[in-house]
Amino acid sequence: MARKVVRGSTPKAARRKARKKKGAIAARRKKEFTFRGFTLEELQKMSLEEVLPLLPARARRSYSRGLNTEEQAFIDRLMSSDKPVRTHRRAIVILPSFVGKNIAIYNGKEYKEVEIKPEMIGHYLGEYSLTRNSVKHSGPGVGATKSSKFMPLK
């Protein structure tokens, strides 16, 4: 008498299913952010003098020379405000204390609103508000070339 086998009910199929389940990748845990070996919480607890050696050379130099009054005023406004702060200061280096804040950076035409993320530490504000945009050309306009005279105006 032939035995009818329902798919997946044999012991071999059960073992195969268990092996597949065991080998499946578990839900990925998001990797914690670190900057030069320090977590975001540790960086935010540090003073400016402790953070400076961790920054890239150009950023370290601009902060070690001191901030001018406008840059200092911007940083003070940013720390006290909870809404986006507008600025033309594109040369300010992003510090750990800026993380989570919203800044509207001027690109020469309009203000681009940017939320500061931990990965932006050590970069300049201007890097996140591009001043040039790519040109998107369409077809030639009517009268642009001799052949365009014969294009239907539809």
pLDDT tens figures, 61-113 = 988 898 889 999 999 999 999 999 999 999 999 999 999 999 999 999 999 99
Measured CA to CA, the distance from residue 70 to residue 111 in angstroms comes to 18
Q: Looking at residue 32, what is its pLDDT?
A: 86
Of 19 and 117, which is predicted with more confidence? 117
Residues listed for the chain = 154
Task: Say what percent of the chain tops pLDDT 70.
Answer: 83
Domain boundaries, the chain: 34-128
Please state which of the four CATH numbers 1.10.510.10, 3.90.1150.10, 3.40.50.300, 3.30.860.10 is assigned to the domain occupying 34-128: 3.30.860.10
**Secondary structure in 3-state letters for the chain:** CCCCCCCCCCHHHHHHHHHHHHHCCCCCCCCCCEECCEEHHHHHHCCHHHHHHHCCHHHHHHHHCCCCHHHHHHHHHHHHCCCCEEECCCCCECCHHHCCCEEEEECCCCEEEEECCHHHCCCEHHHHCCCCCCCCCCCCCCCCCHHHHHCCCC
